[in-house]
Amino acid sequence: MTDALLAIGTRKGLFLARSAGGGPFEVEPVRFATIGVPSVAIDTRGDTPRLLAGIEYGHFGPSVMYSDDLGASWQEASRPPVAFPDKTGATLERVWQIQPSPAEPGVVWAGAEPAALFRSEDGGVTYSLVEGLWEHPHRERWQPGGGGLCLHTIVPHPSDPRIMGVAVSAAGFYRTADGGLSWEAANRGIRAPFLPEGQQFPEFGQCVHKVSLHPSRPDRLYLQHHFGVYRSDDFGGTWTDIGSSLPSDFGFPVAVHPSRPDTVYVLPLQADLDRTPVGHHLRVYRSDDGGGTWRPFDRGLPEPPVYVGVLRDAMTASEAGVFFGTRDGEVHVSRDDGESWTLVARHLPDVLTVRAAVL
């Protein structure tokens, strides 16, 4: 059996939990107490794992910290690691996601608010703005979603560093095939029902909540929209609705099984104005046929009624298990592909993000 590490970013601190030899996860004391941690990454590409945390210092602003000793100590670059060039006139408000590149050693990506993509070539210590996306002609017409104008999801191709997708709320999904020099909107087939009749399939302006892929089938993407669950089999060229058989197609996270590209997880909520589990029954839905059919699983989860939500980055599927964290501070894990669930932690602050890795 292998050891595993779980990183839980919350509104008031970072919590690390470890499992030895497949045993239960033991939660360690909080790091960055009272400080928001909206993004975390566990970079296992090198000989020594590196932890990365996007933190919010409040008055002092956001930053990115890194640890090369599994969280025992943390460092920060001597200058602000993620910062907009003066010529942009923009100020960093949050680092929404940190994503190590699967195809380029040493490269780490960061998604920011206001919506921007940053690239690091030193393992996530310092970053530079990807100007091709920042200067996209659509930018001046992008509108913020409920959480702000944020680039919250980065989807790098697992083997071709020229190909990447990003999701921006509420602009939609954009992709590049030339390493970020140029970008195109890739939202064909995604319906935006909040727009007037006859305008519900725009080139951009969709409120994408999350996008995931599986490395063995990188052209297939799964997308959770503000209303709708979709699949693309051409890396965003076209999208097909796969959420019609779900009890609700509103939600935030979508996660792909670590070894089965046809297996995908979502957690439906009642509606955009009632962000609680459908029927106040907390259930994770799994499809094993690429979204053709769905089954609910709730064994081990809290009994209804349940009134909590799960945010876009608060679910992950890895070789260590399937995990999700709730807005009332509970974290659950399934080690049998979602069939049953075990409580990892409770009474934490509002869970913003979870990441897990086998060490």
Burial of residue 342 (number of CB atoms within 10 Å: 0-12, 13-18, 19+): middle
Amino acid at 22: G
Two tokens, residue 103: 């195809």
Q: Which of the 8 DSSP states describes residue 193? A: T
pLDDT digits (tens, 9 = 90+) for 10-47: 999 999 999 999 899 999 999 999 999 999 999 999 99
Distance CA 336, CA 46 (A): 28
Two tokens, residue 258: 């670590």
DSSP line for 309-351: ---TBSEEEETTEEEEE-TTS-EEEESSTTSS-EEEE-SPSPE
Q: Which of 22, 62, 63, 68 is nearest to 45 (CA)?
A: 68
Taking phi first (over 0 means left), then psi (-120 to 50 degrees means alpha), and beta for anything else, what does residue 132 get? alpha
pLDDT digits (tens, 9 = 90+) for 231-250: 999 999 999 999 999 999 99
pTM reported for the whole predicted model:
0.97
| CATH 3.40.50.2300 matches 4-358 | no
Distance CA 109, CA 167 (A): 13
Strand partners, 15: 8
pLDDT digits (tens, 9 = 90+) for 189-208: 999 998 899 999 999 999 99
Q: Say what percent of the chain tops pLDDT 90.
A: 97
Q: What does the pLDDT average to over 73-89?
A: 97
Calculated CA dihedral for residues 278, 282, 283, 284, nearest 10 degrees: 100
SS3 content of the chain, % helix, strand, coil (to 5): 5, 40, 55
Q: What does the pLDDT average to over 322-348?
A: 98
Distance CA 173, CA 183 (A): 10
**Is 357 within 8 Å of 42 (Cβ atoms)?**
yes
Q: Is the pLDDT at 1 greater than 60, yes or no?
A: no
**What is the structure's pLDDT at 57?**
87
Q: Say what percent of the chain tops pLDDT 70.
A: 100
pLDDT grade for 59, boundaries at 50, 70 and 90: confident
pLDDT digits (tens, 9 = 90+) for 131-176: 999 999 999 999 999 999 999 999 999 999 999 999 999 999 999 9
pLDDT digits (tens, 9 = 90+) for 278-300: 999 999 999 999 999 999 999 99
- Measured at the CA of 279, the angle between CA 276 and CA 280, to 5 degrees, comes to 50
Distance CA 250, CA 276 (A): 10
In a 3-state reduction of DSSP, which class is residue 280? Answer: helix
Q: Is the pLDDT at 58 greater than 90, yes or no?
A: no
pLDDT grade for 128, boundaries at 50, 70 and 90: very high
Q: Is the pLDDT at 185 greater than 60, yes or no?
A: yes
Q: What does the pLDDT average to over 178-188?
A: 98
pLDDT grade for 51, boundaries at 50, 70 and 90: very high
Q: Which of the 8 DSSP states describes residue 53? A: E
Domain residue ranges of the chain, discontinuous segments joined by + = 4-358
C-alpha distances out from residue 186 to 117, 309, 321, Å: 17, 28, 31
**What is the structure's pLDDT at 194?**
85
